[in-house]
Chains A and B, each alone.
Chain A
Amino acid sequence: MLQQIHQTDSRYFQIVGQTTFLLFGLLFLGCDAHLESFALSVVACFFFQAIAIRYLRLSDSTSLRSSLITGLGLCLLLRVNDPLMMVTAAALAIGQKFVFRFNGYHFWNPANFAIAVLVGLTDEAWVSPGQWGHFLAIPICIVVIGALVLKSAQRWDIALVFGSTLAALCYWRFVVYQGWNVEVWWHQFNNGTFWLYALFMITDPMTSPQNKKARMLWGVVLASAVFYVQHLLFVPTAPVWVLFFMTPIVPFINIWLKSPQWNWKHTLKTSI
């Protein structure tokens, strides 16, 4: 089974995972109010990617899967006043992949780019860090599905390093230094939005360093930055900004350490 998981395009796991959470939100957390923007987001991302494949003559038609992930990622994390803003978000997310390229590859996570630009520059979009609640089951499910994604994408290392570094820093800050109960620390960690960000965006194999050691170090640096911005500068949406401002460094790390660029078919090819 592990062999099969290895051979499967990890984007399928990610799509299943994100869809599960979206359904959970729609059924139980009152996200049904945003149904229209969800539909627009997914359709628009798919549409823009299809146009890009058609007119930019891309050989890789499997990138439609990536666009679906981007669409779902926007549904899960971005909130807008006008559902049509989701089309703008989709255009930004997909469009930037073909504008900001380094060495032939995009370096920003598409959904994160769109979220950061729209939230930072317009009055039409925002992120609600509390919207996925603090139910124990949500992080557990996210971890299980995320683990499958990362196992398949061979990116479990950055998730583990990122998660444990942030856990350790928060534990030191809240429990050891400030003297709060362990519940306060756990409350930080039991946040569904944080887990979605950590496992589906920060660990994006396209936008994290390719060299394994560099990737581990990257996990530590990102976690430290998120900790600093969120808990010392008091910005509740820290992961959005940290990821946005720090990912442009990744191509330089890749050049410096001369690692081959990630390819979604990489595992398939090596396994066959």
Chain B
Amino acid sequence: MKKINVKWIMTLSLGFLSLATFAFCGFYVAKADATLFNNRSEVILVRNGDFTVITMGSDFKGDVKEFAMVVPVPVVLNRSDISVVDKGIFARLDAYSSPRLAEYYDEDPCGRIPVVQEDQWSVEESNMRVPTTSSKMEVDKKNYGVTIEAQYTVGEYDILLLSAVESGGLKQWLVDNGYKIPSKAERVLAPYIKSNMKFFVVKVNLEEMKKSGYNELRPIQIRFTHPKFMLPLRLGMANSAGSQDMIVYAFAPSGRIECSNYRNVKVPTDRGIPLYIKNDFGMFYKDVFETAWSREGENAVFLEYAWNVSPSWGGVKCDPCVGPPPMNRDFTMAGVGQTGGWNNIFFTRLHVRYDEAHFPADLNFLTTTNQEQFQARYVLQNPAQGYGGWACEEGQLYLSKLHDRRKLEMDELVQLTGGRFAYRSNYISEYDQYLEEVPMEWMKEEAPEQFELPTKKGSIIPTDVLPEVSLQVSQWSWKEVLGVVVILLVMVRVWKSK
């Protein structure tokens, strides 16, 4: 029997939406969407009480015959708890919540030029189809200790729900049934079996796929009621070396969803950056993320977006918007509102870069009542055009401030990207020529000779706090720990003697 490569965990590819523009205070000019990150997966989580909806996408690029997926789930799912959804939902949520670049224009200091620009976005139409179904129950007769709890065909997928008594039997069953299992998998399967989890096993049904008329695999959605609220990362690590990215789009009625067993950190936001980043925004954000990830010890979960998206809520849904806010159709598709109690819809976008060494345990989540809105936004500030000249007093003052602002932007760029973008002195001094008198100290300004990455891996100290010091708390040796203990005791002694 031909072996099928097991694609262990949810992955999904995205198409680019047309880059729409929308004016609100500033102009959105670019976004850094999820497609920037290779080896990534995307998941939509919906949680209300103990009711959970998980939508898993796939960016499987090989022959669909080779596709298979195994996901541990806490309960045996009914046929009605599984469906396939239109891939566009991921693209729409990504487009709406991506880190964004906003552009602003300075007013002319010695005369005014108005700038007006406003477009409307276009919205993709969904072409979701109702999946075909069939269902039967059977128990595997051989002595694998594996029970087929349920078997369905949903859309283009053949789905099995397995329970097992031990990992060796499950692994053997999967191998004998044509699934190619990574060598490390058995060790990882065992804890899930002992946790009483079931295995949601997916293969492509070629006939159904032909009938459906779709050329690519659609995301699978599962629903269940169980207090466990987690994503099983460890299984995905069994056949993957290095780190993987995961984007989680989450909806809850109460507020933000956050990770309960790793630190939640906001990506840097609202920073003014040099104008020439405009065409390189994707690369820029990749570097921003990588620098932040490294600085936080490579084991934090990053918040990229959080917003109240309730249709009934009157506030703005983004500032500026990079894509249309999710609408009723999107909520329905994601599984929002399938139980009561949705007075409010709060959306959270989390970005996790995980590997075996830094994420020893699966991601657990909890819903909070945190309603604070957040977006990753970077700002381009275009200088005045100078149509009225620069000679007036305000003009000279403006140019002086412009020089300082651009220096600050350059420093921000270095700090945000860990020096991965080149420092351009001529960008800072571009408008100095219009100054009647250039301050002497500006002449002495020089670019730093060489940039070092702001912090080493494992450090948790932001460089803007202590640029010269790198305190690698998570990698302290026993001597350093002993040193801290001694210092603390001495401090207590000194304090007491006073």
Contacts and interface: CB of A to CB of B under 8 A. Distances in A.
Given A129-B366, A135-B460, A141 B191 contact: no
Interface stretch (B330-338, B367-375, B390-398, B432-440): B367-375
Interface string A172-197: 00100111110110111001000000
Nearest to B260: A236
B194 A179 contact: yes
Interface residues of A, number: 51
Contact of A234 (B228, B474, B493): B228
B460 A28 contact: yes
B255 interface: yes
Contacts of A126: 255, 368-370
Given A28-B461, A180-B191, A123 B369 contact: yes
A243 B73 CA distance: 31
B481 A137 contact: yes
Contact of A236 (B261, B360, B361, B492): B261
Contacts of B228: 234
Contact of B263 (A1, A125, A131): A131
Interface string B457-498: 000111001000001011010000100110010001101100
B453 to A, nearest CB: 18
Contacts of A119: 369
Contacts of B259: 130
Given A126-B255, A126-B370, A179-B190, A144 B488 contact: yes
Contacts of A129: 260-261, 366
A270 B94 CA distance: 65
A28 B462 contact: yes
Contacts of B5: none
Contacts of A13: 492
A148 interface: yes
B307 to A, nearest CB: 14
Given A28-B461, A178-B195, A234-B229, A136 B474 contact: yes
Among B260, B471, B473, max chain A CB count under 10 A is at B260
A9 to B, nearest CB: 11
Nearest to A127: B368
Among B262, B299, B473, B484, max chain A CB count under 10 A is at B473
Contacts, number: 126
Interface in A126-154: 126, 128-138, 140-141, 144-145, 148
Nearest to B195: A178
A134 B260 contact: no
Contact of A133 (B460, B462, B471): B460
Given A27-B465, A28-B461, A187 B261 contact: yes
A29 interface: yes
Contacts of B484: 137, 140-141, 144
Interface residues of B, number: 48
Nearest to B371: A81
A39 interface: no
Contacts of A104: none
A137 B473 contact: yes
B409 interface: no
Nearest to A192: B263
B348 interface: no
Contacts of A79: 368, 370
B370 A137 contact: no
B254 interface: yes
Nearest to B461: A28
Nearest to B254: A123
Contact of A29 (B194, B263, B371): B263
7 contacts: A4-B496, A128-B260, A129-B261, A130-B263, A132-B263, A178-B190, A187-B360
Interface of B: 187, 190-191, 194-195, 227-229, 254-255, 258-266, 297, 299-301, 360-361, 364, 366, 368-372, 460-462, 465, 471, 473-474, 476, 481, 484-485, 488, 492-493, 495-496
Given A128-B258, A130-B263, A137-B481, 18 more contacts: A16-B492, A28-B460, A129-B260, A129-B261, A130-B258, A130-B262, A131-B264, A134-B262, A135-B474, A136-B481, A138-B473, A141-B484, A179-B191, A183-B360, A187-B261, A188-B261, A234-B229, A235-B227
